[in-house]
Structure 1
Amino acid sequence: MAETPQVTRSLLSAPLPQIIERLGISIAQAQAALDRNSIELAKAMSETEVEIGDRTYNLLSLGFVPAFYSFTEATVEAKLSFQVSESTETSVNVGVQVGVQYGVFMAAASVDVGYARKFSVSAEGMSSIAARLVSLPPPEIFTDLLKREYQQDIS
C-alpha cells in the first residue's frame, strides 16, 4: 500500500491558493476591460450625431448611455476522489497418486500453492470555475453630468 500515501499527498497538495489568486486577478483584469469598453462606448456615443428636425444631437444628449457590467460572484469548485483497493488470493491444490504394479507399491504426492496480492489505486479530479456578470446602471455622477451638460441642448 505504498501508493496510498503518495496519492493522498498529491491530492492534498493541489495548488488551491494559486487557483484562487489567479481567479481574483483574472476577474480584476476582466472588470477593467469591461470598464474600458463602457468608456469607449460613451466616447463613441458622444461622437455619433443624429439629426432631428433642423437640429443635430449626439446620442448622449438624447439619453443614451453605455451599459456597465460588474462581476458579482465567482466560484471555484474542485472535486477530488480516489479509491484504493487490495485483494489477496490464495490457492492450494493437492494431488495424490497411488499405484501398485507387479508387486511394487508407488506413491506420489504433489502440492501446488499460489499466493497473489493485488493493489489498485485510482484518482480522479474535476474542477469548474463560474462567474456571474450583471448589468449595472451607469454611475450616478455620470448621468448627472450628462444632464447638466446637455440640458440646454434639449430645451
Structure 2
Amino acid sequence: MSSAGATVREMSSAPLPDIVSSLGLAIAQGQFALDLNSAEIAKTLTTTEIEIDGKNYNLLELGFLPTFYAYTEATVEAKLSYTINESTETSISGSASVKVRTPFVVVAATVSASYARKFSVEASGSSSIAARLVALPPPEKFLKVLNAVIER
C-alpha cells in the first residue's frame, strides 16, 4: 500500500496557509483597485459639466458622488474526499487423470495458480471562495474637501 499511502499523504497535506495568504493578498489588491476606481470616477465627475440656466456646473458640484466599495468578509472552503481499496485474490485449481494400461500406469496432473493484488485510489475535491462587497459612503475627508471647493 505504499503508493496509495503516498497519495493519501499528499492529498491530506494541502497548503492551507498558502491558500489563506493568497486570498488575503487578492482581497487587498482588489480593495486597492476599487479605491482607485472610485478616485477616477471622482475625477470624471469634476470634469463633466452641464449647463443649467446659463451657468456650467460639474457633477460633483451638483451632489453626484462616486460610490466607494469595501470587502466586508471573505470565506475559503475546501472539501476533499478519497477512497482507498486494496484487494487480494488467490486461486488454485488442479486436475489429475490416471490411465491404467497393463503393464503401464500413466498419471497426468495439471496445476493452475493465480495471485492478484489490486489497489485503487479515488479522490475528489472541490473548493470555493466567496467575498462580500458592500457600498460605503464617501470618506469624511473627501466630503470636507468637496464642500470647501464647492463653497469657493
| Mapping 1:3-152, distance limit 5 Å | 3-150=3-150
Same amino acid, percent of matched pairs? 53
- The CA RMSD over aligned residues, in Å, is 2.0
Partners of 2:41 and 2:66 within 8 A in 1: yes
**Unaligned 5+ runs, structure 1:** none
**Unaligned 5+ runs, structure 2:** none
Equivalent position amino acid for 1:14 in 2: A
- Aligned to 2:7, what secondary structure does the other structure show? helix
Q: Please, what TM-score do these two structures have when normalized by structure 2? A: 0.86
Shift of 1:13: 2.6
Shift of 1:72: 1.5
Shift of 1:148: 4.7
- Aligned to 2:28, what secondary structure does the other structure show? helix
Structure 1 segments (4+ residues) deviating >6 Å: none
Shift of 1:151: 5.2
Equivalent position amino acid for 1:110 in 2: T
Partners of 1:69 and 1:133 within 8 A in 2: yes
- Aligned to 1:26, what secondary structure does the other structure show? helix
- Aligned to 1:74, what secondary structure does the other structure show? strand
Aligned partner of 1:2 in structure 2 is 2
Shift of 1:35: 0.5
- Count residues with an aligned counterpart: 152
1:26-68 Cα deviation digits (max 9, x unpaired): 1111101110110111111112111001111110111100111
Equivalent position amino acid for 1:112 in 2: S
Q: Whole-Å Cα distance in 2 between the matches of residues 105 and 8 of structure 1?
A: 59
- Aligned to 1:24, what secondary structure does the other structure show? helix
Equivalent position amino acid for 1:89 in 2: E
Equivalent position amino acid for 2:4 in 1: T
Q: Whole-Å Cα distance in 1 between the matches of residues 110 and 54 of structure 2?
A: 115
Q: Please, what TM-score do these two structures have when normalized by structure 1? A: 0.85
Equivalent position amino acid for 1:68 in 2: F
